[in-house]
Homo-oligomer: A and B are copies of this chain.
Amino acid sequence: MVPRMAVVSSYHHGDLESALVEAAIALVRKYGPDHLSLRAVSADVGVSPSASYHYFQDKDALISAVGTILFDRLADLQEQAISKVSGNSMRSAKERFQAMGNAYFKWAVTEPNLYRLLFGGFCEMQEVPQDHKAWRLLSESLDELVSVGLISKSARQDGEVLVWSAVHGASSLIIEGFMPRQSFPEVLRGIQRSLGMK
């Protein structure tokens, strides 16, 4: 009888699962992963606290879903940063590589709470990330550095793990206050030395 704005009735939400995930992201962003409350998430969405149990087994399952989404979005940010640098020169290849690392670090320092949720042991990644976009982008960038002659094939060997470890470690140590923020460019230079990049 009463006209409704929503697509569906107000009793059935329609897309509660992703609404809960988005609300959880917003709350973690504000208050940190350890202060996330299922009841606050439900209240933000406008639903009863019990409703989430139809989509997630428990609170940890919701957190894991958030982690999966955040990991995808981080990879999207890196892809976006790469795509902003055009050209086939050695210079642009190097810039793409650096843009990836800078995007990773920038996300860590602007969203430390999301970073902590993703990498702090709160969620168990269901997807084995070996063939994830994040790995692929890094691998392709290293391949490009080889093909344009910036690094050698032998130096490229095991480059992924060194690069990701150093960028991730610096980001983590900096947002937790163990390392000053200006150390990140130094780490980036050290990475390039490790790759024999000139």
Contacts and interface: CB of A to CB of B under 8 A. Distances in A.
Given A190-B158, A194-B191, A165 B169 contact: yes
B178 A172 contact: no
A108 to B, nearest CB: 11
Contact of A186 (B161, B179, B186): B161
A165 B34 CA distance: 24
Interface stretch (A9-17, A87-95, A118-126): A118-126
Identify whether the interface residues of A are mostly helix, strand, loop, or mixed: helix
Interface in A87-133: 112-113, 116, 119-122, 124-125, 129
Contact of A161 (B129, B190, B193): B190
B187 A162 contact: yes
B186 A162 contact: yes
14 contacts: A32-B121, A112-B121, A116-B120, A120-B121, A120-B176, A129-B178, A158-B183, A161-B190, A162-B190, A165-B167, A165-B170, A166-B166, A168-B173, A190-B194
When A and B form their complex, which 4 residue pairs have the shortest distance between CB atoms, in order from nearest?
A: A169-B169, A162-B190, A194-B194, A165-B169
Given A119-B172, A124-B177, A193-B195, 15 more contacts: A34-B34, A113-B121, A120-B120, A125-B176, A155-B193, A158-B186, A161-B190, A162-B166, A162-B194, A164-B169, A165-B166, A165-B167, A167-B169, A172-B172, A194-B194
